[in-house]
Amino acid sequence: MTTRIATAITVLLVGLGLLFGASPATADDAAADQPAGTTWSLQPASAEVADGRVSLRQRVDPGATVDEHLALTNHGASPARFAVYASDGVVTDSGSFDLLPGDQAPKDGGSWITFGEVAQAQPRTGGGFTIDLAAGAAVIIPVRIAVPADATPGDHPAGIVAELLADSQTQVHLSTRVGVRVHLRVTGDIAAALAAENVEVRYETSANPLAPGTATVSFDIANRGNVRLAASSTVMLSGPFGVLPVTAEIAEGREILPGQSARAEATLPLWPLVLGFGEITLQPQPVGTDEIEVPLHASTTDVTVWTPPWVYLAALLLVLLTWWLIRRQRKRSAARVQAAIDAAVAAARTADRDVVPV
């Protein structure tokens, strides 16, 4: 049981390392470290052999069809069964590219991918096929991408994975898959636009009256265009009339797919001047070697934050209270002195009246 768990975890780590374009050397090294495990690779290929590419990149017209190939290799020391299928691409919250879970049917670019005839392959429920590979064996997989005639222009991310299928006696079942990313761009009008959404601003006043407080600006970088983009973000804040401005830059290098968003956050020192004003500026950028044929225009979103000067108000209140207490104490002291003087004068007058002339 312990050996199977260790083997399954090793396979999972290797699979994550190979996901979407790792080199086959990684699989070989892992196989050497864990000979009892199963390691495998899926790579772009020609009709005969893997060709060294890390992904399938195609620019396709609506209604067109393109053919590609993949090489699936079992680097392990034992036979293994794999499920090969395509699905839509997503970017996770951590910024990593992934595919939909294996039990979810693709609806976009992944649904355009089919496979040609592969010897000894069996159809897989939900699409794709399953195949048994002997130790060290490899197979070339024909791939066809058929773009619908009504496909919208822009990026339609997808991927193809080879998932290791556990045998019926395995007590630990982990979904482990390696894959190749498929960059699909449908020709037509390209739109590249980012916008800041769900903006939240928090302000904390410093306990030190000689130091500024802290403004934290959080927002979603939403891709409103039809191509994947990265973003360079700038957050600027100041007091009323632009006094004491501060700026923070966020280098958001992760990709944001069309229709998706990424959360960003900036922390800035800001003096408590009752109200703070500023803006968020998003500058779209290409991802990797992508070519974007349209100008990449920056977008701005206004920001307002309530910056109450509680420390200064508390200090002012303390000063006023101290002044009032001192004034009150002085009034009381003056009243006591005056009372003593009045009593003395009254006593003296009484004494004068009580003196009997001789």
> What's the confidence (pLDDT) of residue 166?
76
- 44 with 50: CB under 8 angstroms? yes
d(CA 72, CA 25): 14
d(CA 118, CA 201): 56
- 115 with 67: CB under 8 angstroms? no
pLDDT tens-digit profile, the chain (358 residues): 333 333 333 333 334 333 443 333 333 333 333 334 689 999 999 999 999 999 999 999 999 999 999 999 999 999 999 999 999 999 998 888 999 988 899 999 999 999 999 999 999 998 999 999 999 999 999 999 999 999 999 999 999 999 999 764 444 445 688 999 999 999 999 999 999 999 999 999 988 888 899 999 999 999 999 999 999 999 999 999 999 999 999 876 789 999 999 999 999 999 999 999 999 999 999 998 899 999 999 999 999 999 988 656 666 677 777 888 888 888 888 888 888 888 888 888 787 766 656 5
For the chain, the structural domain boundaries read 2-186, 194-311
Give counts: helices (H), strands (E), the chain.
3, 19
> What's the confidence (pLDDT) of residue 34?
33
d(CA 157, CA 56): 11
Q: Which CATH architecture has domain 194-311?
A: Sandwich (2.60)
Q: Which CATH architecture has domain 2-186?
A: Sandwich (2.60)
- 100 with 92: CB under 8 angstroms? no
* Strand-strand pairing, 65-74 and 138-146: antiparallel
pTM across the whole model: 0.75
Which residues partner with 250 through β-bridges? 233
d(CA 298, CA 172): 50
